[in-house]
Amino acid sequence: MPSVYIKTYGCQMNERDSEAVAAQLVAKGYTLAKSEAMADVVLLNTCSVRDMAEQKALNKMKSMVGVAKKERPNQIFGFMGCMAQSRGQELIDKLPDVDLVVGTQKFHRTADYLDEIFAGRRDKIVDIAAEEKSEATIREHLLNGNATKSVTAFVSIMQGCNQYCTFCIVPYTRGEERSRGIADIVAECRELVSRGVKEITLLGQIVTSYGRRDIPVRDGKSAFVQLLEAVHEIAGLERIRFTSPHPKGYGDDLVVAYGRLPKLVESAHLPVQSGSDRLLKLMHRGYTRERYLGIIEKLRKAQPRIGITTDIIVGFPGETETDFEETLSLAREVEFDNAYIFKYSPRKDTPAAALDGQLPQAVKEERNEALLNLINEIGARHYEKFVGCRTEILVEGPSKKNPARMMGRTRCNKIVVFDGAERHGGQLMDVRIERVGAFTLYGEPAIVNLG
């Protein structure tokens, strides 16, 4: 059977989609190649959130088809995911050596399309149509005995987004919000736990909007909180995370859940995007600075140890120095544990791309750097507080940077590197934190574990 290599750009949902496609191909007998040079099929799973991600994937494909023409004329190339969805046929018109373009509702068709191409029944295939129930097709997992993979898993609970933030391309690439049923998701989680998974991250573009059109509020609990409760029931599951929520999804039912569901870890990623009410309105975010700060306050009251991270966009059209100052002051006020900072990138067909006041790249760079410095400074203070403390981690496997050491995560989502052994992989254990690095804690096992 042929071998396949999948390269993924972008978010955790893309990682999850790639994993499901890889697992579907493995189930058909494909092997997973270690590099594109060794693969019969190369698939790029693309991201459209910023132009840079699109250009990276396009350049990668250009260079690969160039080499393949000379060295591997039978190699098959495909684009999947968000850029495939937004550009479709145009990708094959521009790069005629590409064989396959699979949109965001068609990941599960990839294996069949490759069969057709290998059998010579079809030459080029572009499928970016919508497909009913495609939200329930990302379910296969690759738990291949690698400790990093088998102790934690991501579960896709929904697809699409109805928020239509004016900067964001996602509603156009991922389609309308569609949610899977609770029983279906719980069955997938249960199966993962039976295979050794201890931590599950529920995934969606806006997870907190899960099921809101299909599952009625019950006893004051939203569909998402009902799902959390159902997953929480699974014996053997130790930790539940979710990403990415929207601040407006933090109703009291979810805030209270942090205090009453022990498996729901003390970690929340709350994308704020800006500290300026004027910009939040232009972005169509649906909350004000005051409401955002109120949510953070409630969360910290319900769970004082909670780690809070965010996404922030700098250089949105018309962002003044005053607007940017408000973002800096919000970051100081919240004291985020960490933040992903994005330089605004105009996206095709989004309202913000047509706004007056597009800012020069130099201004975006300058604001990016200023905010990054502040986030690093605040983050370092948070991390310092852990020194000398004992904390529980779930050991995921060898550290990526130094495979001689082991790596785990605290409940509040901080990476801990420690001198451990392979037998620690997959264990929940206590470590004592001895020092900090850049957004990393270094520790030692608090109890010598002979197991």
412 in Cβ contact with 367 (< 8 Å): no
- Asked if residue 50 binds ligand SAM (CB under 6 A), the reply is yes
- Taking CB under 6 A as the binding criterion, the range among 90-98, 150-158, 167-175, 320-328 that sits at the site for ligand SAM is 167-175
d(CA 220, CA 205): 23
Tell the smallest beta-carbon distance from residue 205 to ligand SAM (Å). Answer: 6
Nearer Cβ to ligand SAM (142/296):
296
383 near ligand SAM (CB under 6 A): no
CB 389, min distance to ligand SAM, A: 31
43 contributes a contact to ligand SAM by CB under 6 A: no
Smallest distance from ligand SAM to CB 329, Å: 19
Task: Write each residue from 260 to 289 as x if it is in contact with ligand SAM (CB under 6 A), else as -, in one continuous string.
Answer: -----------x-x----------------
**Selected range binding ligand SAM among 225-233, 301-309, 339-347, 358-366, rule: CB under 6 A:** 339-347
Beta carbon nearer to ligand SAM, 2 or 294: 294
Amino acid at 326: E
Query: What Rg do the C-alpha atoms of the chain give, in angstroms?
Result: 22
Question: Buried b vs exposed e over 252-281: b needs ≥16 C-beta within 10 Å?
Answer: ebbbbbbeeeebbbbbbbbbbbbbbbebbe
Among the listed residues 90, 20, 188, 25, the one whose alpha carbon sits nearest the alpha carbon of residue 8: 20
Binding segment for ligand SAM among 15-23, 25-33, 63-71, 340-348 (CB under 6 A)? 340-348
Residues 343-362 that bind ligand SAM (CB under 6 A): 344-345, 347
Helix, strand, or coil here: 177? coil
DSSP letter string, 312-355: EEES-TT--HHHHHHHHHHHHHHT-SEEEEEE----TT-GGGGS
Q: Is residue 231 classed exposed, middle or buried when 0-12, 13-18 and 19+ CB atoms within 10 A define those classes?
A: buried
CA distance 401 to 258: 32
* Least distance to ligand SAM, CB of residue 53, Å: 10
What are the C-alpha distances in Å from 168 to residues 16, 97, 393? 20, 30, 35
**CB nearer ligand SAM, residue 57 or residue 206:** 206
Which contiguous run of DSSP H or E holds residue 297? Answer: helix 289-302
* 254 interacts with ligand SAM by CB under 6 A: no
Task: Compute the C-alpha angle 90/49/166, nearest 5°.
Answer: 105
Q: Is residue 192 within 8 Å of residue 16, measured between CB atoms?
A: no
Window 390-419: residues binding ligand SAM (CB under 6 A): none
Give the Cα separation of 405 and 90 in Å (integer): 46
Q: How many positions of this chain bind ligand SAM (CB under 6 A)?
A: 19
Q: Candidates 131-139, 162-170, 210-218, 292-300: pick the segment binding ligand SAM (CB under 6 A).
A: 162-170
Tokens at 399, concatenated? 């550290």
Nearer residue to ligand SAM within complex by CB, 5 or 250: 250
Q: How far is the CB of 66 from ligand SAM (least distance, A)?
A: 30
Residue closer to ligand SAM by CB (options 353, 387) is 353
311 binds ligand SAM (CB under 6 A): yes
Candidates 107, 154, 210, 342: give the one binding ligand SAM (CB under 6 A).
342
Q: Considering only 163-171, 228-236, 298-306, 440-448, which stretch makes contact with ligand SAM by CB under 6 A?
A: 163-171
Please identify, using beta-carbon distances, which residue of 49 and 394 lies nearer to ligand SAM.
Answer: 49
Residue 244 contacts ligand SAM per CB under 6 A:
yes
- Residue from 151, 168, 197, 429 binding ligand SAM (CB under 6 A): 168
Q: Measure the CA–CA gap between 193 and 253, rounded to whole angstroms.
A: 26
The amino acid sitting at 82 is C
Q: Whole-angstrom Cα distance, residue 347 to residue 115? A: 34
359: which DSSP letter? Answer: P
Q: Which of 125, 192, 206, 264 binds ligand SAM (CB under 6 A)?
A: 206
Tell me the residue length of the chain. Answer: 451
Complex with ligand SAM: residue 25 or 168, whichever CB lies closer: 168
We find the least distance from the C-beta atom of residue 107 to ligand SAM, in angstroms, to be 17
Q: Which stretch binds ligand SAM (CB under 6 A): 53-61, 166-174, 368-376, 422-430?
A: 166-174
Name which position in 4, 200, 313, 334 contacts ligand SAM (CB under 6 A).
313
Contact call for residue 246 and ligand SAM (CB under 6 A): yes
Residue 400: which H helix or E strand, with range? none
How far apart CA 34 and CA 368 sit, in angstroms, is 35
Chain residues binding ligand SAM by CB under 6 A are 11, 49-50, 165, 167-168, 170, 205-206, 244, 246, 271, 273, 311, 313, 342, 344-345, 347
